[in-house]
Structure 1
Amino acid sequence: MNVRDILEAKGRNVITLKPEATLEEAMQVLAGRRIGAIVLTDDADGVAGIVSERDVVRVLGTIGVSALSESIGQMMTANVRTCTEDTTVNEAMEMMTTGRFRHLPVCQNGRLIGIISIGDVVKQRIEEVEREALQMREYIAAG
């Protein structure tokens, strides 16, 4: 199983903003879309950064409400790990666990084509384990 399988099941729609957007705009998008992260893109649809709920809490807790009018480009995570459609589910899980992040943008030829979350990865892995268990039961029953 790979990331392509996850994207085919959930879709490839990614909510994005430009780094020039304000923190307040980002918070409105996060809340309005009920998502945990927004990918920030450059003019070539490449990943410029990412802003997560954790980033918002960190900035507001450190700077306070005056940060709401600041650009998210100043507070984004700029060194974003990405994967490709060919990345295996286990590799994606390893990246997310090791890096301690919950959202992984998917890129092809430097362009953003999707995003997966740790929830997507866990769901895919559970389905795979259940499928393997069913096959094993059928094999044993066929004797």
Structure 2
Amino acid sequence: MSREAPRPVTEETEEDVRQLHAEGCSRNEIARRLQRSGRTISVIAQRLGLSFDRTATEEATRARMADLAERRAILAEALQDDAERLTEQMWEPSVIYNFGGKDNDYNERDVPEPPADAKRALMSTAAQAIDRSLKLCPPESDQQGLAAVDAWLRGMMSD
């Protein structure tokens, strides 16, 4: 794989950078228009005594972080809902089934609630959902409550 030789930075390139900067273009926009790397544009701008306003970038970053926090909160709520549905299933009527015998027959039976192994699996899965929910959106001020819930979850999973 061959690399092209770097293009030299000419006075024309510097003038283009100066002009686009004066028009309010960002560093990345100038790089795109001139088909240069952002680093090259930064070096040219520094040499010309130009700087780029980072206010818009900082505001965009803050907005993005707020959006991500909101998405984590929504996901944490969905995980909490899942955990609640799973724990409710532990006490609802269930069907147990198996395949067996020489003909590999299918058999099922209705039971008033799931057997112990199914309850253990439901509780473990619910505990994982709660744990993930708490990691996505931990309580802000109740660290003792968080520790208690964590201990409860670990106890439920070890049973």
What is the TM-score when the length of structure 2 is the normalising length?
Answer: 0.28
| Rg (Cα) greater in structure | 2
What is the TM-score when the length of structure 1 is the normalising length?
Answer: 0.30
Structure with the greater relative contact order (CA < 8 A, sep ≥ 6): 1 or 2? 1
Larger strand fraction of residues: 1
